[in-house]
Chain A
């Protein structure tokens, strides 16, 4: 069973909910090592996507939803997260193509393309204490799960688990990219807000997939 437009729309709604719910936490994380606007910016971006979901034309694909998220985040987020997430969703949309349903391998390809987009845009590597530290293990876990023949909900579950572990692993790191890098050694001991929001968004994707499988 693959994931269709219903899953994609549900993922965006769950994303908006989880970002709103964790808005203050993300602001707090960003205030510790950045400029403190990550929670507010992400919340504004996803809230701006919500009304647009209702205007999607009939016959839209999961790729169309990802593209809508991309262009909206790029235009509304304002901080570095706008171009970074915008590029991630855009590259993910290209990988999804015009398919009406995405199986485990297709989802793994979407996550890998999204990760590549973030790396391309931000030029960060693993261990730089950025979103990449959540996305790279997530894309790798999704790829491994899909190769083992796991169903699509399990593929996204593996990605979400790996992203959460990756977010935890940013805590001791010294930032080498982004605003936090200005703090040098003082950035160690704090969780990266971008890695955390990435983990939240991938968890929302997995939950939407579980809900779709149970439906």
Chain B
């Protein structure tokens, strides 16, 4: 998929360096996504700039939509004001997401990289609202993702299951987790990893899987075999790290 077809992500921060740093961080996992930094004022001070946010939206918008993530108060006000000035057609595909800037931004970037639509990218960013780590994050990640995915319950009797031992020295850290989510997102069927939605980056990362851990890849979809096998093969290959 060409970058032109992807949803764009704009990071609005009071600090130019925070916004640029976030693009740099997210770019590691989403090298092709349209990620734009809109931090600081026009003349490089701490603050937010209507003109920079406006230009950022234009740069990020390829027609598939734009997700905006903001830091403190006035960043949201500036972004909302910028939306007011857009024409109706453009405004309809631009969303300000209330989510943590770092976690939400990375999740949105990965979803955008995978070619997800606007609603899915918004859901991915919102999945970061739960407290970091723990069961809460995992559950919320699953819930948010299932808004977009068909509302199937996690099946106690999965139709297709594969079990793989994680061989990566650093465990399932950000980059391989993103690879897994990107691959899972290319399939229409619902797939889980240790019970967590394989399309939820934050859900997968919060599993905290280390080297030697057993990964259970499962799908209760009758057509899920291909997806399960592909993810199992990716895991067995060490996510390209070996």
Q: Is the pair B49, A80 in contact by a Cβ cutoff of 8 Å?
A: no
Chain A interface size, as a band, is 10 to 19
Q: Is the pair A75, B51 in contact by a Cβ cutoff of 8 Å?
A: yes
Contacts of A82 in B (CB 8 A): 48, 50, 74, 77-78, 81
Q: Is the pair B41, A78 in contact by a Cβ cutoff of 8 Å?
A: yes
B92 contacts partner chain A, Cβ-Cβ < 8 Å: no
Q: Is the pair A78, B51 in contact by a Cβ cutoff of 8 Å?
A: no
How far, in whole Å, are A76 and B48 apart by their CA atoms in the complex?
A: 9
B155 contacts partner chain A, Cβ-Cβ < 8 Å: no
Q: Is the pair B47, A78 in contact by a Cβ cutoff of 8 Å?
A: yes
A74 contacts partner chain B, Cβ-Cβ < 8 Å: yes
Closest partner residue, chain A, to B51 (CB atom): A75
Q: Is the pair A179, B50 in contact by a Cβ cutoff of 8 Å?
A: no
Q: Is the pair A80, B73 in contact by a Cβ cutoff of 8 Å?
A: yes
Q: Is the pair B45, A78 in contact by a Cβ cutoff of 8 Å?
A: yes
How far, in whole Å, are A159 and B180 apart by their CA atoms in the complex?
A: 61
Residues of B within 8 A of A (CB): 41-42, 45-51, 72-74, 77-78, 80-81, 84
A-B contact pairs, 28 of them (CB 8 A): A37-B47, A41-B47, A74-B50, A75-B49, A75-B50, A75-B51, A78-B41, A78-B48, A78-B49, A78-B74, A79-B48, A79-B74, A80-B74, A80-B77, A82-B48, A82-B74, A82-B81, A83-B50, A83-B74, A83-B77, A83-B80, A86-B50, A86-B81, A87-B81, A121-B77, A121-B81, A122-B77, A179-B72
Residues of A within 8 A of B (CB): 37, 41, 74-76, 78-84, 86-87, 121-122, 178-179
